[in-house]
Amino acid sequence: MTALAQEAPVTTTPEAPMPGPNLDEVLWQAWKAMELPEGFHAEIIEGFIEVSPTGRYSHGQIANLLRDELVVFLADSAYAARQDMNVIHGRKLWIPDGFVVPKDPEEHMTEDGVGIRADAVQLVIEVVSPGNDGLQRDRVRKRRAYARAGIPVYVLIDDHDGHGTVTVLTSPSPEEAAYAGENRVPYGVDVIIPEGPAKGFVIGQAITGPPRNTRT
């Protein structure tokens, strides 16, 4: 994974400094101009453009099993499980491993059609990627970013935490960029989504697989 940052230029005069372009806007325009090879995607997270490859088989397997189960769980509701789409908050952009939004997304699209506004997202899912950058991105940077956006539930599935853990974060505080509620359980123990459209949905070994032998 590669992180790119661009400093916003500042124009000054002898009398007083004059602000240059807003950093968020600079990064947004840089992201829109990027042409990435197949198998990579770029997100804007906390002042950086982060480029990362498509996940490994185990990563994709968990994300897809979770989405498949959510599709069934939400079938009779007004909500749907989605993946492989941009979630936009101001000039920040993320591509979660999965998320839950209203079934009719048209009114929640950004004006330019780039993606879905974060205020429509009721639950977001990340399967932690290996490597120090991947671990920090999903465990720390995205945790803060999703809390700042006020996304009500963040589900973090982590193969690299002991023998594997599932963490369900709730009660976001946008001002503090933190979630007040946290339920963290090891693989093999069922965890239940406590609120929102997916309330009652169970994440267990059928989705995560058995405990892992790795430790990071």
pLDDT tens for 184-195 read: 999 999 999 999
CB distance 7 to 140 below 8 Å: no
Given a cut of 50, is residue 9 above it in pLDDT? Answer: no
161 to 149, 167, 169, 187, 212: CA distances (angstroms)? 25, 11, 16, 10, 9
83: burial class by Cβ within 10 Å (0-12, 13-18, 19+)? middle
The pLDDT tens digits of the residues spanning 105-140 come to 778 988 888 899 999 999 999 999 877 677 888 999
pLDDT of residue 166: 97
Whole-number pLDDT of residue 3: 46
pTM metric for this prediction: 0.82
Q: What are the pLDDT digits (tens) for 21-68? A: 688 888 888 877 888 777 787 887 877 888 887 767 788 899 999 999
pLDDT in tens, 147-178: 999 999 999 999 999 899 999 999 999 999 99
Residues 16 and 14: their CA atoms lie apart, in Å, by 6
**pLDDT(207) > 90:** yes
Span 179-207, average pLDDT: 97
Residue 95 structure tokens:
């591509």
Look at residue 4 in the predicted model and tell me its pLDDT.
44
Binning pLDDT at 50, 70 and 90, where does residue 214 land?
A: low
Cα separation values, 43 from 31, 34, 51, 133, Å: 8, 11, 7, 14
Mean pLDDT throughout 184-212?
Answer: 96
Higher pLDDT: 34 or 18? It is 34
65-110 pLDDT, tens digit per residue, is: 999 999 999 999 999 999 989 999 988 999 999 999 999 877 898 8
Distance, in Å, from the CA atom of 51 to the CA atom of 63, rounded to the nearest integer, reads 19
198 vs 160: which has the higher pLDDT: 198
